[in-house]
Structure 1
Amino acid sequence: MKPIIIIGSGMAGYTLAREFRKLNKEQPLVMISADDAASYAKPTLSNALAGQKHPDQIALANAEKMSQQLNMQILQHAWVEAIHATTHQIQVLHNGQQQQLEYDKLILAVGADPIRLNIAGDRGNDLYAVNCLDEYRAFREKLAQSNHKRVLILGAGLIGCEFANDLQHTDHQVTVVDLAPQVLARLLPTHVADQFQHDLEQIGIKFILGTTVQSIEQEQQHYRVNLANQQHCEADIILSAIGLQPRLALAKQAQLNTSRGIITNQQLATNQADIFAIGDCAEVNGMLLPYVMPLMQQARALAKTLNGEETAVHYPAMPIAVKTPAAPLTLLPIADNIIVEWQTEHFEDGLLSTATDADGRLRGFVLLGATAAKQRLSLSKQVPDLLPLPLHLQPSAG
């Protein structure tokens, strides 16, 4: 029996393997990983400092343990160099040797890479980006140097704000720079962004918005960071958190359709037979959602499909909890191309903002503070599904 091969050992790959094994104990499974294939939750990286977690404590299990748990062969430090869709084969470089592996079904769970800026200056490349445990370990090693207390973060999005909160709570001095005029520019209405920023500033985080980094120069034992607005600031270490871009090179080589991500239908199938995509690299019905809850929905659906029960992925309302304890924030983003009107209720410790469309339907919300957070579940139930099941798969009214 030919195996199901999963390319990638991140949360998407391992979650799919777990869900599939709940349904099928016998089908051969192979996972191919470019790193050591340790299993860990990537979202824990942005709050591990305050949680006093050493990088060596973040991994939940190594490849050997995961292989035993899931009855799965795992190839560590292996690279898929080519996919031959017509013959259902992949070309793999492992331990210095070229191998041809046949597959029954192939799943791309290849994730995304941090976006890299081309910054001028003699230290324009001295930026850390954290998108995996190995990168986080390198960042922490640099951070551990006693004189490295001033941290500059490029990007005031989810990851930038989470790292800023985590670092500021561990005696670092954090400055966040973003080209957008507000924090979480793609996710929050301006009035909520202003309050969220104010709450983070109260613990000492400094924001410089509406500009970007022009150059980075070495100045004695630290960096001089020159901004496009003619300001400059000093930093001991610089973290880039300006976003991710799906890894598409392998998909393009295999002639899979791509846009922002690897294009799939609602069954997570690509345009090539028996090849699927899942996780941060997958653009499902035009939606690219690099968050945990969509990933879980994808894994459950695809596991059933791989086990012979073709299943469409379903996206209910999936709020995002931002890990910023200084300003507890939960948000349900508004789908693209929907015009909404915001209404806000203020509390002593925050606010609740709801977004309704022209027909009065709730389309999204933002909860800031502990009081507002209590309404998360009741509000989520009122929002239409982001990706409903196809009509023929929906339960009948009777």
Structure 2
Amino acid sequence: MSYPVVIVGSGLAGYNVARELRKLDAPAPLLVISRDHAGLYSKPMLSNALAGRKTAADLVMKPAEQMAVDLNARVLANTSVARIDTAARTLMLHNGEAVVYRDLVLALGADPIRLPLAGNAAHMVLAVNDLDDFHAFARALNGATGGLAVKRVAILGAGLLGCEFANDLLALGISPTVLDLAERALGRLLPPRSSAWLQSKLEAAGASFRFGVAATSVDHHASGHGLTLTLSDGGTIDADLVLSATGLRPRTALAAQAGLAVNRGVVVDRTLQASAAHVYAVGDLAEVEGLNLPFVMPIMQQARALAATLAGKPTPVNYPAMPVVVKTPACPTVVCPPAMGAQGQWRVTEDEDGLEAHFIGSAADQPLLGFALHGKATARRQALAAQVPAALPVIV
């Protein structure tokens, strides 16, 4: 009997590994296990779907049944894994079924980080991390949970998701208030002047920002309509809806229970193999040489490399310079941040049409280590990316 390649997770990472594998190995038995509906959709589209007037149903490109046909695979929807026995190469599902695998690919994704909020309405704070979350968020925006149309939205977090959702809400005529303990927008990705440029454009479009503060509690408003947020500085703001966008944490619990090495994500080598043979991790879950990159381009690099490995040709993943396109049409933005700990300084040029920031390395042979572009300057992303060293270079 030939045991299947089992992929746990039907998101961008899981389905792309399956697709790439099918290009290289058509007959291999394949099983995809998904804890949700297992339909194909693009998770990155969730943070700009409102502007396009997209519903959750609109975002599903193919249902699970069609994916099973396309991939010549068994697809188990609404199914979760209870435990993994790496020695026996067996999964135990919550429904009691035991699945023996040839190779196991963990593409479990990540969960939203939840702030420890107090208050009698803390349970009403929403987060958008999957299609069901987006459906609930869209219904709440339309007043389905309280009968009144939402006018005021507070967003907890001024990082990538917070800024993208703020921009998306503007398309509905909602002027969001973004709160963050940090000093500026996208502070982990952008240099100060670049961050200020993004903030100014979003503010001009109708968003507002408050930095150096965090929400500590969320309560029902005394009037009976809406919510009141109490802030860390003692102040309060009122909102109709609160969206948490404070980051994501890889879903490592199942891997840790199985005895796999776990740090921020599941620790894997350059072939994406975890600390047990025949077990691999991809996507938000994979930590490769200390890098945990929850973006589309790294996931695509991983999918192609892992598919080749699963098809019999061990292939290390490579990360070229991979600029991130921030989905903020009010301020077109592309960033290719320098590596953690890189030595150098930012040099910024700007005019009324755009801003261009270069991170110039201290070493003479490494002049450009990262960049941030806004407005018309985003047209230079490919030219600049070609000058930035690879995050994980090709192994020769």
Q: TM-score, normalised by structure 2?
A: 0.96
Is residue 382 of structure 2 the alignment partner of residue 377 of structure 1? yes
Is residue 183 of structure 2 the alignment partner of residue 181 of structure 1? yes
Question: Is the 2:91–2:99 Cα contact (8 Å) retained in structure 1?
Answer: yes
2:373 aligned residue:
367
Show CA shifts across 1:187-226 (max 9, x none): 1111111111011100110101111001111112110111
1:198 aligned residue:
200
The 3-state SS of whatever aligns with 2:84 is strand
Is residue 25 of structure 2 the alignment partner of residue 24 of structure 1? yes
1:396 aligned residue:
none
Q: What letter corresponds to residue 248 of structure 2 in structure 1?
A: L
State the alpha-carbon separation in 2 of the partners of residues 169 and 82 from structure 1. 43
Tell me by how many angstroms 1:345 deviates: 1.4
Show CA shifts across 1:280-319 (max 9, x none): 0110111000000000000000000000000000000000
Larger mean CA deviation between 300-309 and 140-149 belongs to: 140-149
State the alpha-carbon separation in 1 of the partners of residues 266 and 360 from structure 2. 31
State the alpha-carbon separation in 1 of the partners of residues 236 and 343 from structure 2. 38
Tell me by how many angstroms 1:152 deviates: 0.6
Of 324, 329, 337, 1:333 maps to 337
1:213 aligned residue:
215
Of 150, 158, 164, 2:166 maps to 164
Question: Is the 2:34–2:78 Cα contact (8 Å) retained in structure 1?
Answer: yes
1:277 aligned residue:
281
Structure 2: gaps spanning 5 or more residues? none
Q: What letter corresponds to residue 315 of structure 1 in structure 2?
A: Y
State the alpha-carbon separation in 1 of the partners of residues 57 and 80 from structure 2. 24
1:295 aligned residue:
299
Structure 1: gaps spanning 5 or more residues? 394-398
Tell me by how many angstroms 1:275 deviates: 0.2
State the alpha-carbon separation in 1 of the partners of residues 76 and 390 from structure 2. 38
Show CA shifts across 1:359-392 (max 9, x none): 14210000010x20111111000011110122xx
Q: What letter corresponds to residue 255 of structure 1 in structure 2?
A: G
2:157 aligned residue:
155
State the alpha-carbon separation in 2 of the partners of residues 294 and 147 from structure 1. 39
State the alpha-carbon separation in 2 of the partners of residues 196 and 9 from structure 1. 33
Tell me by how many angstroms 1:125 deviates: 2.2
Q: What letter corresponds to residue 138 of structure 1 in structure 2?
A: A
Q: What letter corresponds to residue 109 of structure 2 in structure 1?
A: G
5 Å matches for 1:1-398? 1-93=2-94, 97-145=95-143, 146-219=148-221, 220-360=224-364, 361-369=367-375, 371-390=376-395, 393=396
The 3-state SS of whatever aligns with 1:346 is strand
The 3-state SS of whatever aligns with 1:182 is coil
State the alpha-carbon separation in 2 of the partners of residues 255 and 229 from structure 1. 43
Show CA shifts across 1:125-163 (max 9, x none): 211000000110011111111421111100000111000
State the alpha-carbon separation in 2 of the partners of residues 203 and 61 from structure 1. 35
The 3-state SS of whatever aligns with 1:121 is coil
RMSD: 0.8
The 3-state SS of whatever aligns with 2:23 is helix
Show CA shifts across 1:12-46 (max 9, x none): 00010000001111000001111110110001111
Show CA shifts across 1:239-295 (max 9, x none): 000000000111011100000000000000011010000000110111000000000
Tell me by how many angstroms 1:121 deviates: 1.2
The 3-state SS of whatever aligns with 2:200 is helix
Q: What letter corresponds to residue 192 of structure 1 in structure 2?
A: S
Q: What letter corresponds to residue 48 of structure 2 in structure 1?
A: N
State the alpha-carbon separation in 1 of the partners of residues 373 and 27 from structure 2. 45
The 3-state SS of whatever aligns with 2:126 is coil
Question: Is the 2:319–2:392 Cα contact (8 Å) retained in structure 1?
Answer: yes
Tell me by how many angstroms 1:230 deviates: 2.0
Q: What letter corresponds to residue 175 of structure 1 in structure 2?
A: T
Tell me by how many angstroms 1:54 deviates: 1.5
Question: Is the 2:116–2:216 Cα contact (8 Å) retained in structure 1?
Answer: no
> Which stretches of structure 1, 4 residues or longer, exceed 6 Å deviation after superposition?
none
Name the count of aligned residue pairs. Answer: 387
Tell me the percent identity: 44
Tell me by how many angstroms 1:173 deviates: 2.2
State the alpha-carbon separation in 2 of the partners of residues 29 and 215 from structure 1. 47
State the alpha-carbon separation in 2 of the partners of residues 15 and 201 from structure 1. 37
Show CA shifts across 1:76-126 (max 9, x none): 111111111111111012xxx311111100000000000011111111221
Q: What letter corresponds to residue 307 of structure 2 in structure 1?
A: A
State the alpha-carbon separation in 1 of the partners of residues 90 and 250 from structure 2. 23
Tell me by how many angstroms 1:344 deviates: 1.2
State the alpha-carbon separation in 2 of the partners of residues 373 and 262 from structure 1. 34
